[in-house]
Amino acid sequence: MRIAVLGGGPAGLYAAYLLKRRHPEDTVTLFEQNAADATFGFGVVFSDRAMDFLRADDPETADAVTARMETWQDITLVHRSEAVAIDGVGFSAIGRLDLLMLLQGRAQAVGVELRYRTPLASLDALDDFDLVIGADGINSLVRRSHEGDFGASLSYLDNKFAWFGTPTRFETLTQTFVESEHGTFNAHHYRYSPEMSTFIVECDRQSWLRAGFDRLGPEESRALCERIFAEALGGEPLVANKSLWRNFPWLWSERWSHGNRVLIGDALHTAHFSIGSGTRLALEDAIALSAALTEHRSDLPAALAAYEAARRPIVEKLVRASKTSAAWYDRFPEHMRLAAYDFAYSYITRSGRVDDERLRAMAPGFMARFEASRSRENAA
pLDDT beyond 90 at 378:
no
pTM: 0.93
pLDDT beyond 90 at 145:
yes
Contact 137, 252 (CB under 8 A): no
Share of the chain above pLDDT 90, in %: 83
Residues in the chain: 380
Closest CA to 66 of 81, 82, 50: 50
pLDDT beyond 90 at 53:
no
Share of the chain above pLDDT 70, in %: 99
Half-sphere exposure of 148 (CA within 13 A, CB side): 0
- The arithmetic mean of pLDDT across residues 173-188, rounded, is 94
Q: How far apart are CA 18 and CA 194, in angstroms?
A: 30
Confidence of residue 380 (pLDDT cuts 50, 70, 90): low
Q: Tell me the CA distances in angstroms from 270 to 156, 286, 322, 336, one per residue in order.
A: 11, 15, 9, 27
Q: According to the model, what pLDDT value does residue 196 have?
A: 95
Closest CA to 183 of 161, 221, 210: 210
**How do residues 58-90 score in pLDDT, each as one tens digit?**
899 999 999 999 999 899 999 988 999 999 888
- Ordered by start, the domain boundaries in the chain are 2-40+97-155+250-329
**How do residues 265-318 score in pLDDT, each as one tens digit?**
999 999 998 877 788 899 999 999 999 999 999 999 999 999 999 999 999 999
Q: Report the SS3 class of residue 248.
A: strand
Average pLDDT score over the chain: 93
Q: Report the SS3 class of residue 40.
A: coil
Strand-pair partners of 56: none
pLDDT beyond 80 at 377:
no
Residue type, 274: S
Q: Angle of helix 278-295 relative to helix 300-330, nearest 10 degrees?
A: 170
Question: Strand 91-95 relative to strand 43-47: parallel, antiparallel, unpaired?
Answer: antiparallel
**How do residues 10-45 score in pLDDT, each as one tens digit?**
999 999 999 999 999 999 999 999 999 987 779 988
Q: State in Å, rounded, how far the first CA of the chain is from the last one.
A: 72
Residue 7 — left, alpha, or beta (φ > 0 → left; ψ -120 to 50 → alpha)? Answer: left
Eight-class DSSP state of 34: S
**How do residues 101-111 score in pLDDT, each as one tens digit?**
999 999 999 99
* Fold of the domain spanning 2-40+97-155+250-329: FAD/NAD(P)-binding domain (3.50.50)
Q: According to the model, what pLDDT value does residue 150 have?
A: 97
